[in-house]
A and B are shown apart, each in its own frame.
Chain A
Amino acid sequence: MPSSLAAPVVEAEGVSRRFGERVALDGVSLAVAGGRIEALLGPNGAGKTTLVRVLTGLVKPDAGTARVLGVDTWECPRELRARMGLVPSGDRSLYLRISGLENLVFFGRLHGMSKRQAFARAHELLDLVGLADAARLRSAFYSHGMQKRLSIARALLTEPHVLIIDEATHDLDPEAAARMRELVRRLADDGAAVVWATQRIEEIRGFADGVTLLREGEAAFQGTVSQLIALATPRRYVLRLRNGGGSRRDLEPLLRGAIGGGGAIAALDDGDPEDFLLHLADEAVLGEVLAALTAGGVDVLGCREERSEIENAYLNLAGSER
């Protein structure tokens, strides 16, 4: 694996792309250095896959440029392709009638390896992604997780400097997704620049080094995960409250009276009679509201954000919900 490179390995400058009337990308810029993982985050239709395709030279931008290792990806010389690995979204990029081993051997030979080299490399990679036991199994019989791992193995055939991964975990179970992230993290630690497109906000914490959040084709946020979290303004909390043996409905007026202008509170229909949702008023302070409830004779058993702070930040920036 290549050593870490200081200068950006993947660069996009003012990339715009329309499909008919629809603006898929609007002036998006991006820079990813070797050894770093840049999460490309956004809801469906935000422009993630279009940006991935521009970065891999599969789509021509209407404006702006995309460069990998200093080379314009649209004019992408073949040599550059040997230094980039793409893990496309979906499971349809493999030959399902042949085995995982034969898939890797085929693509290895298209990368210019001899048959012997391709077989050796394929075995090495199947081992790396934990598919050695299924090497000769027809890949149609692989689970989604196994197919994704095979797809990653294919992207690594040439020890690429750049890995571009589109929605690698969206249909994987948590364990398989975690294994996938662990593998990619290792590759980045070995020096590869990774672009990781995802709509799963929860997976980027502790994994990605940087985040580009796309909203309707525009970069709504660019920075580190910590910077993204700092933008969160959580105002909704789930409280666990108890007050003797009264019914929940009886308790609500008491709670409203206790918090006054601190916000709105109502019983939650989540099956737990002790759960209430507090929507904090703009200027209110959580600690003061909780103190007011205690002073009103209510036992506050627990308090948590309705969503994680990173999820709040994402929803605020993606504009899908406040």
Chain B
Amino acid sequence: MSTLAGELRKLPAFVRRDFLVAWSYRLPFVGDWIGLAVQAFMFYFVGLMVDPSKLPTFGGQPTTYMEFVAVGIAISAFITLALGRVAVGMQQEQFAGTLESLLMTPTSPATVQLGSVVYDLIYIPLRTAAFLVVIAVAFGLDFYASGLLPALVVLLVFIPFVWGLGVASAGATLTFRRGSGIVGIGSTVLVLFSGAYYPLDVLPNWVASLAELNPITIAVDGMREPLLGGTGWEGVGRAAAILLPLSAVSLALGAVAFRAALRRERRHGTLGLY
């Protein structure tokens, strides 16, 4: 237990390091927010063409396309960013040449892996929440304030699922050096069939049935219900009941894949190669 506590105490050091590094690159930081704003404007104008009666209702409440897609944009940006950063977090240490130095400290590989992404795991959900607030104010979207906390809980339950996929991808990236492309394709396909940008009804029936099982669909709907439908905690339990085991499996598989990849690299003596 004391070992675990000791390892957890190291995480703020990673956060401080990555904040200082991020702060030293101010332009990409600003560019990220400009990109989000441009995307929001684009969907706003697309939304003007969409008939609200074609959109699903949430908690019996009708919704506008901008309200519908805002949650989708937030979640898909979260997934793309989180998955990408987790997958390449260790690779960046390899590129920078710092991975072996990290592993020369009395720090467990799991802590090194978590540490390499902990800054993003804090920053990205905050960015997601900030995006929703800013877009709601800027475009006059009608989100239920009472839905914020339930939506956040769904997001928190969903984070380990994305993280687990990212860790597995990080293992693949360690082994194959160029695994991030696979991650990009995978996350795009999952987002495409999640109802993030359009209702699942527009898909062929059999695709829509499969898409219902997509964890991203469950997370997006789990957040839309309280935010757009004002259903409060009503649907959160169901979403959490499905997402929690998926997240646990994803994390466990990711951890096993990553440890195996790390051990292989050490055995082959190729940890410092990229």
Contacts and interface: CB of A to CB of B under 8 A. Distances in A.
Contacts of A249: none
A92 B97 contact: yes
A112 B6 contact: yes
A125 to B, nearest CB: 15
Interface in B96-113: 96-98, 100-108
A242 interface: no
Interface in B218-274: 266-269, 271-272
Interface string A279-308: 000000000000000000000000000000
Contacts of A102: 16-17, 20
A58 B21 contact: no
A117 to B, nearest CB: 12
Q: What range describes how many residues of A lie at the interface? A: 35 or more
Contact of B269 (A58, A82, A105): A58
A60 B265 CA distance: 10
A92 B96 contact: yes
A90 interface: yes
A110 B10 contact: yes
B269 A95 contact: no
A97 B269 contact: no
A112 B7 CA distance: 8
B24 A138 contact: yes
A93 B269 contact: no
Which of A78, A105, A154: most chain B Cβ within 10 A?
A: A78
A95 B20 CA distance: 10
B104 A95 contact: no
B13 interface: yes
Contacts of A88: 97, 100-101
B262 to A, nearest CB: 11
Contacts of B14: 106
Given A86-B104, A98-B20, A106 B97 contact: no
B43 to A, nearest CB: 34
Nearest to B105: A110
Contact of A112 (B96, B106, B108): B106
Given A112-B6, A154-B101, A78 B108 contact: yes
Q: What range describes how many residues of B lie at the interface? A: 20 to 34
A59 B98 CA distance: 16
**Which label, helix, strand, loop or mixed, suits the secondary structure of the B interface?**
helix
B104 A81 contact: yes
A95 B17 CA distance: 9
A82 B96 CA distance: 23
A17 interface: yes
Nearest to B269: A59
Interface string A58-75: 111000000000000000
B111 to A, nearest CB: 8
B6 A93 contact: no
**Which label, helix, strand, loop or mixed, suits the secondary structure of the A interface?**
mixed
B106 A56 contact: no
A111 B14 CA distance: 13
Contacts of A199: none
Given A19-B269, A110-B13, A112-B6, A98 B105 contact: no
Contacts of B266: 57-60
A93 B98 CA distance: 4
Contacts of B101: 86, 88, 93-94, 107, 154
Contact of A94 (B6, B98, B271): B98
A151 to B, nearest CB: 9
A181 interface: no
Contacts of B100: 58, 86, 88, 93
A84 B104 CA distance: 8
A110 B16 CA distance: 12
A76 to B, nearest CB: 9
Nearest to A112: B6
A137 to B, nearest CB: 13
Interface in B14-58: 14, 16-17, 20-21, 24-25
Contacts of A80: 106
Interface in B161-189: none
A118 B9 CA distance: 13
Nearest to B19: A98
B267 A95 contact: no
A67 B102 CA distance: 20
Contacts of A59: 266-267, 269
A154 B100 CA distance: 13
Q: Give 3 nearest A-B pairs by CB, closest first.
A: A92-B97, A78-B106, A109-B13
Given A82-B105, A102-B16, A106-B16, 18 more contacts: A50-B269, A58-B103, A58-B104, A60-B269, A81-B105, A81-B106, A82-B106, A86-B104, A88-B100, A92-B96, A95-B17, A95-B98, A97-B20, A102-B17, A105-B13, A106-B14, A109-B12, A154-B101
23 contacts: A17-B269, A53-B269, A60-B267, A81-B104, A81-B106, A82-B105, A86-B100, A86-B104, A92-B97, A97-B24, A102-B16, A102-B20, A105-B13, A105-B16, A107-B105, A109-B9, A109-B12, A109-B13, A110-B10, A110-B13, A110-B106, A110-B107, A115-B13
